[in-house]
Structure 1
Amino acid sequence: MKKWMLTLAAFVLIMVMTGCRETGYSMDRADVKAHIMPDGDLYVEELFTYSFQGSFKGTTRYVAADHNDIEFFEAYAPPKGKKLGKFSYENLERLKTEWDKDNDTYYTYNAAKDEVKQVYYRYRIHQAAVKYSDIGKLDWSFFKKNEQDIANVTVDVYLPSSYNPANVHAFLHDRTGGKLTTGGESAAHYENPELSQYGDAEIRIFFPQEQMPLMVESDDQASYQKLLASEQKYQERIDARDAFMQKADGPIQALIVISLFGSVMYSLSWRKIKAWLSRREVTEEELQQLDPLLKSYIWRKGKLKQKDFVAGLISLKRRGLVTVKEVSASKRFLEEPTAPDMTLQFTYHGTLEQLNEADRHLIQWLFSKRNNTWVFQLDSVAGPTFKEKEHPERLTYYRQAAKKHEERFKEWKKIISDIEPYSREVRVNKLSGWLVPLMVILHYGLLLYLFYADAASRLEVILVAVIVGIFGAVACLKHRSKLWIILYFVACFAAGTQLAYEKVADNYLILALCSMLFAVLVPRHVLSATMLRYRYALKAWKKKVKKGDDFWTGSETDVERNAENAVLIGMIPEYMKNMNTKRQEGATAYAAAAPILFSVNFLSSLQYTQSNLNFTPPSSSTGSGSSYSASGGSGGGGGTGAF
């Protein structure tokens, strides 16, 4: 391994280790006591225990309620060694708190550095409970938007007065875990050794409406039996979740194996290995005899780029259909210091009827007719110079020209793919035509099943069905584009992160990544055995050029062959660097041997033209914004944690 790589790796490792040691915090315990008041308000007391590594300014707390409904929020330094409920706030040190409206979070200033610290919160939520004609109800998300997991969580909810346990029903809405019980000293008791950062931890309690004598009855009508039945039905889904999710785990693991096997088969197929092993059997003469456009076509595996129109021109010249001469560049380039002063002019003297469809389209697209002769000057398709970019009207012209060039190129590319020998040597992979829809349908159905089995809400299921479905539909319609199938699996992965059943969710995320890999590796086009060997031979030649060794022997044939390959596979800068090196070494015959088509001037002009072929006017974008900024470690972006 190179020394610079070792140095970089060591630097990254040091930075990571330093970063890991520098700052961090954990929420080791959270005890909560919530009292439903006779007027429906909810009075809450909380005792948090934090462990800090590094320096922090304080802690943060997100309360799941409208700020206008929070009557007060206070924070105190609690007495050491006392549990929640065993002390009063009256004699405690009150800490400074601020509410940030941008992220609906309370910031408590209580500096800490490398220590274990506790913070006591108390707040009151106006009419958090609802009183109906035959029942009282509390929906309370006591922990939401946590910045990290919270360990050892206990929550007790108390009613205003004594009650009959048979008349109180409590349900937990949190698919990440936790246990809820009733019938004790408190109306509902919640425990969770590790409350997930992504859990909502919502408790719904139904109790006699007589518990809130000071609260006005809601105008909304609600049936106790219907509410209770709905919650019991949801609880049944939670109870059945393990069985349903486990049923999907086996097929998911099987699909992971299939995806990985398919990826390996496409990456290391015997057909590819055989072609790679026999690449040295392809002689330089065989590569030279291959038509330039076909050479570019197999190099791109059937996906030509706009700059590859040059391969069509070289093909015409090779077949003797056009003549080439070196001419002075257009005036606008002569005034541009970075632009070449010379370019090439291609001339076609025949009639269009004698050309095949692809050649005819290329002539009509690029050439202009002058006195019964078709002429094309290479720099005519280049974008604006720096001087021209100063004039808005010229920018509009070049934008339209670039758009027109792209449209004509797409037409030419389509013609090429449909005619011989291109359609024979580089075939469309028919497998992708049915494989993409199959993968889309499979993942779509699997995702919907997982969300239903995971007891997700109806809204979550609908959102997944709509959003993922849109990406899937487009991926099927554009199955020849790998971009859309990749975006589809990105959407599947993003949806999979919302699953709460961690083991199966993690396996599904692995499946989404493996399926994406498989989709990427499935080729859009398949090369014939001969062309595959040629392509590997070209790749071997490319490596030689990168190393500065293109095996120049001084003959005109070598110069033309190597320069042509450099043009067709995009290695002009590297090739010209080698050419200059050979000149400095005394190979004066090198430049003299170069035919006009591959002279230094031509290569420079070609490189400039291809680099400035597509033009999109620069656009300026501005953005501004501010957010609550807090330093000291992690957090500070809103939610329950520290800053």
Structure 2
Amino acid sequence: MKKTIILLAFVFSIFLLPQDVYAVDFSITNTEINAYLQENGDVQVQEQHTYRFEGDFNGITRSIIPKEQTKVEGFQAFENGKPLEVELEENVYKVYRSGSDQKILIDLTYTITNGVEVYTDLAQFYWPFFDTSNESTYQNMDIYIHPPQASEEVIALGYDEAYATSVIASDGVVHFAMGEVESGTKGDIRVAYDPNLFPAASLLADKTIRDDILADQAELEQERQNYENRQELLNRISPYIICSLSIYLLLLVTVAWRKKNSRLLEIERSSLSSQFLPNQEMSLPATMLYIRNMSPSSELISAALMDLVRKGYVKKDGESKFVIVDSNTDFPHESILIEWLFHKIGENGVFTLSDLSAYTKVKGNHSTYSSDFAKWIQAVKEEVKQSHLVEKKKGLRWTIGIVSLLTMLFAIILGVHSLFMWMFFSIILAFALLLFAIIYQPKTLRGHRIRQQSKKISLNYDNISEKDWNDWMTDEQMQSFIYAIGTGNKSMQKKFEQLSKSLSLHSTTDHSMQSHDVMMFILIASTLTNQFDKADSTVSASISSGSVTGGGTGVGGGGGGSGAF
């Protein structure tokens, strides 16, 4: 059960939780960037960003990471022509404009010195206005590149998000209509003109670049063609792969279900008539822990202590005092429990509830207490493990896990090729197979038998009569009570109290004494459980985070992005 919860939490963390948590709720609904190339090689940039805020805000941010051998100078911000306060931190410009629940338009202007690279045959503006460090989605982005004067000789090329988005106007202005640009993506733009348009700019290198640009253009086109071919192939084979995986998963579930049912039928045919007490295939603590799906509780300690009394290893002396009679127990976890309660918490083989209260009041004992409890639980779990109640099926589960991993890789490939419907189905199948691989540990005949007996005990305990109760020996009654306490079965505990009270009112003196002892155990169990709950200690961990400023992932180490604060 715990493994299932952990897996589901992991799945939800991937699909439901955002990757970044912002203090300000905003969206950038429209972005328009105009880059005016100057004859001296500088580039004057004008940006207009439309922000929509929900709640309070203090301003916006614009990070600009310049390429090597370039600078960004003269950064200014305006709203309706009114200048706004700007503060620079590393490569992030903070524009102060506070408000609440508003739509605002912010104009930014700055100059990129040496933004145009001049070569012997062409002059290019090759720039990343954003890169993978960008944490905000641009819902609509348009970038315009303006030459110093009209020109017919233009080469335009976009990379990644900017690929195949360029339109060249008759006057040489290039429009990159990029539409929505997701956060964490990049899209370098590259525009080349006749170098004679930049007479005041210095020659960057005495070489030609036209062939390089055309080679890039051909390579991108070939990559696009290969992408489309792969997309078509994947779209064609996906239905068969998804169908095959679905059938595989269905067969796994069907075989597991039929195997379980066949074992349950075999148990039903060979089950004993007694339905009020569990068969002693394991110790009572191990049986109770198994019934609780290996989830320990405070009641389990109370039940285990009373089981030691029932078996004669410990005797009850008065209302809240227990004394060791015999330390040679049947199971290692019983010896650990005696050592823990009677020698660490208690003294000289004597344990009282006041000892427990005094011990847990000392903060320094909490760590040791938790450690000893974990040691005891581990020993009980070891008995459960050695009883072979489940089949590990490691080979099958590893095979299914590998299939799940391959299915997830296939889903990623489908996502890369924009086949989102098939990607969705693949992800569902991948996690379904992974879940099956994690939780599939079929119970053995013994495991099913103990589980079925537990269900029958819980269902039929209300039907037990006073005659049946009176016919039971004290040991059987105590087993029943200990089982009810250890498994947390409230209806069984209530029935047990009713029968004990009835026995006290209508039976002989011996039975009345026996009933008095049982009621005493009920009181002690409740007190012990409460004391154990108080022993829990919590540990808080603090998480510190920091950031490191570095180069961008765009061309030439440049890049940037937008945000708000």
User: Partner of 1:413 in structure 2?
Assistant: 381
1:74 matched to 2:61: no
Per the alignment, residue 157 of structure 1 pairs with 145
Are the structure 2 counterparts of residues 539 and 596 from structure 1 closer, same or farther at C-alpha, using a change threshold of 3 Å? closer
Alignment of 1:153-552 (within 5 A): 153-161=141-149, 163=151, 165=153, 168-174=155-161, 179-182=165-168, 184-186=170-172, 188-197=174-183, 199-205=185-191, 214-215=200-201, 229=215, 232-245=218-231, 247=234, 249-250=238-239, 253-254=242-243, 257-258=246-247, 261=250, 265=254, 271=260, 275=264, 283-287=274-278, 291=282, 292-293=284-285, 295-296=287-288, 298-300=290-292, 303=294, 305=296, 320=311, 322-327=312-317, 342-348=320-326, 359-360=331-332, 362-363=334-335, 366-367=338-339, 377=351, 385=359, 387-389=361-363, 394-395=364-365, 399-400=367-368, 402-403=370-371, 406-407=374-375, 409-410=377-378, 413-414=381-382, 416-418=384-386, 422-423=387-388, 426-430=389-393, 433-445=394-406, 502-523=420-441, 526=444, 528=446, 529-537=448-456, 540=459
- Paired AA for residue 239 in structure 2: G
Distance 1:444 1:192 in 2: 34
Unaligned segments of structure 2, at least 5 residues = 1-23, 507-511, 548-559
Q: Residue 275 of structure 1 contacts residue 532 of structure 1 at CA under 8 Å; is this kept in 2?
A: no
The residue type paired with residue 313 of structure 2 is T
Higher relative contact order by CA 8 Å / sep ≥ 6: 1 or 2? 2
CA shift for structure 1 position 138: 0.9
C-alpha separation in 1, matches of 2:278 and 2:161: 65
1:55-134 map, 5 Å: 60=60, 62-65=62-65, 69-77=72-80, 93-99=81-87, 101=89, 104=92, 106-107=94-95, 109=97, 118-130=105-117
Write the distance in 2 (CA, Å) between the matches of 1:586 and 1:98.
85
**Separation of aligned partners in 2, 1:383 and 1:272:** 48
> Using the alignment, how far apart are the partners of 2:370 and 2:129 within structure 1?
56
1:222–1:410 distance in 2 versus 1, CA, 3 Å? farther
Q: Relative to structure 1, is the Cα distance of residues 452 and 520 closer, same or farther in structure 2, using a 3 angstrom cutoff?
A: closer
Check 1:33–1:503 CA distance in 2 against 1; reply closer, same or farther (3 A cut): farther
One-letter code of the match for 2:391?
Answer: V
Q: CA, structure 1 residues 580+101, in 2 after alignment: closer, same or farther (shift >3 Å)?
A: farther
Looking at structure 2, the residues matched to 172 and 70 of structure 1 have their Cα atoms a distance apart, in angstroms, of 26
What do residues 232-263 of structure 1 show as CA deviations (whole Å, max 9, x unaligned)?
43553344334434517436633773586478
Deviation per CA, 1:449-497: give whole Å up to 9, x if none. Answer: 6667776xxxxxxxxxxxxxxxxxxxxxxxxxxxxxxxxxxxxxxxxxx
Conserved in 2, the CA contact under 8 Å of 1:343 and 1:605?
A: no
AA aligned to 2:521 is S
Gaps of 5+ in 1: 1-22, 78-92, 329-340, 456-498, 627-637
- Residue 556 of structure 2 corresponds to none
- Label 1:242 to 1:268 Cα distance change in 2 as closer, same or farther (>3 A): farther
Question: How far is the alpha carbon of 1:55 from its aligned partner?
Answer: 7.0
Letter in 1 for 2:529: Q
1:28-68, Cα deviation, whole Å (9 max, x unpaired): 5443322233454432223455677x777687353443697
Instruction: Compute the displacement of 1:535 (Å).
Output: 4.0
Conserved? CA contact 2:64–2:561, under 8 Å: no
Equivalents in 1 of 2:406, 2:198: separation in Å? 47
Query: Which residue matches 2:9?
Result: none
In structure 1, the residue matched to 2:482 is 564
Q: Could you tell me which residue of structure 1 aligns to residue 529 of structure 2?
A: 607
CA-based RMSD of the aligned residues comes to 5.5
CA distance in 1, matches of 2:443, 2:517: 35
Match of 1:599, SS state, is: helix
1:204-228 CA distance string (max 9 Å, x none): 4456666655555669999775676
Q: Report the Cα offset of residue 606 of structure 1.
A: 4.1
8 Å CA contact retained: 1:95, 1:108: no
The 5 A counterparts of 1:573-588 are none
The residue type paired with residue 34 of structure 2 is K
Instruction: Provide the C-alpha distance between the structure 1 equivalents of 2:214 and 2:373, rounded to a whole number of angstroms.
Output: 67
CA distance in 2, matches of 1:178, 1:612: 66
Question: CA offset at residue 294 of structure 1?
Answer: 5.3
Shift of 1:101: 3.9
User: Contact between 1:156 and 1:187, CA under 8 Å: does it hold in 2?
Assistant: yes
Query: In the alignment, which residue of structure 2 is the partner of 1:81?
Result: none
Residue 428 of structure 1: how far off its partner (Å): 2.5
Matches of 1:610 and 1:132 in 2, distance apart? 80
Q: What's the offset of the Cα at 1:564? A: 1.8
Q: Counterparts of 1:256 and 1:105 in 2: how far apart (Å)?
A: 51
Match of 1:17 in 2: none
Letter in 2 for 1:172: Y
What's the offset of the Cα at 1:170?
A: 0.6
- Secondary structure (helix, strand or coil) at the match of 2:242 reads helix
Q: Over alpha carbons, which structure has the higher Rg? A: 2
TM-score where L is the length of structure 1: 0.59
2:95 & 2:193 partners in 1: Cα distance? 34
Q: Return closer, same or farther for 1:553/1:124 CA change in 2, 3 Å cut-off.
A: farther
| Separation in 2, partners of 1:169, 1:559 | 89
Paired with 1:538 and 1:128, the residues of 2 have a C-alpha distance of 82
Number of equivalences: 502
The residue number in structure 2 matching 1:139 is 127
Identity %: 14
SS at match of 2:97: strand
Cα distance in 2 between the residues matched to 1:192 and 1:267: 51
Inter-partner Cα distance in structure 1 for 2:463 and 2:127: 75
Q: Is the 8 A contact 1:154 1:189 kept in 2?
A: yes
- Residue by residue over 1:253-296, the C-alpha shift from the partner in whole angstroms, topping out at 9 and shown as x without a partner, is 33773586478659966836995997999753343666524532
